């Protein structure tokens, strides 16, 4: 399935990242960055979940976020991680993308009991289904069906179901 993105136009002649302060409050981005960056080094899973919720992320019960995982600092409120999921070491979950002539946002949903392997990147507008597994070092640029194993760059089905 195609990613669900909301496309935005750049307000001027420069690339869209040059205007980021007109899209989101710099104070809010600094707040989000401080929390998310601190959580990268925080070993306590329950405290990490509490702090990540302060950014607007929807974090379910018993979610395990590995060390060094990085979440979108501009639009964390567009990220939902359901109960009992695992986000692996050094993974990246994005809810936006800045392009030269515009920018996009998209909600990211990680289903219940899903697993994102170490060093994986999940792009905006993607849904990872319940019980799905994303292998390490993968780039997820489209939806992952429930109970499916995917891997690679871009991620493709490795095994029909888990």
Domains of the chain plus CATH, in order, are 6-159 (2.160.10.10)
The answer to whether 114 and 128 are in contact (CB under 8 A) is: yes
42, 114, 120, 99 alpha-carbon torsion, rounded to 10°: -100
pLDDT for res 25: 97
pLDDT tens digits for range 13-57: 999 999 999 999 999 999 999 999 999 999 999 999 999 999 999
How many other CB atoms sit within 10 Å of the CB of residue 143? 18
* pLDDT of 100 above 90: yes
Please return the burial class of 147, using the count of CB atoms within 10 Å of its CB with bins 0-12, 13-18 and 19+: middle
Cα–Cα distance for residue pair 76/65, rounded to 1 Å = 15
Cα–Cα distance for residue pair 37/102, rounded to 1 Å = 27
Residue 125 CA, chain-centre distance (Å), reads 9
Cα→Cα distances 45→32, 37, 66, 130, Å: 18, 14, 8, 21
Region of residue 112 (phi > 0: left; psi between -120 and 50: alpha; otherwise: beta): beta
pLDDT tens digits for range 109-139: 999 999 999 999 999 999 999 999 999 999 9
């Amino acid at each position: 399935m195609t990613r669900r993105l909301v496309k935005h136009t750049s307000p001027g002649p420069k690339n869209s990242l040059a205007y980021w302060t007109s899209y989101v409050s710099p104070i809010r981005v600094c707040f989000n960055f401080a929390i998310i960056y601190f959580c990268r080094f925080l070993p306590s899973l329950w405290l990490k979940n509490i702090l990540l919720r302060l950014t607007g992320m929807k974090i379910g019960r018993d979610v395990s976020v590995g060390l060094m995982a990085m979440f979108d600092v501009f639009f964390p409120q567009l990220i939902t991680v359901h109960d009992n999921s695992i986000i692996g070491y050094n993974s990246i979950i994005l809810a936006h993308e800045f392009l030269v002539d515009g920018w996009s946002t998209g909600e990211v949903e990680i289903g219940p009991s899903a697993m994102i392997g170490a060093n994986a990147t999940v792009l905006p507008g993607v849904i990872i289904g319940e019980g799905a597994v994303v292998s390490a070092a993968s780039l997820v640029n489209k939806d992952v069906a429930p109970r499916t194993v995917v891997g690679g760059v871009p991620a493709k089905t490795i095994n029909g179901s888990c």
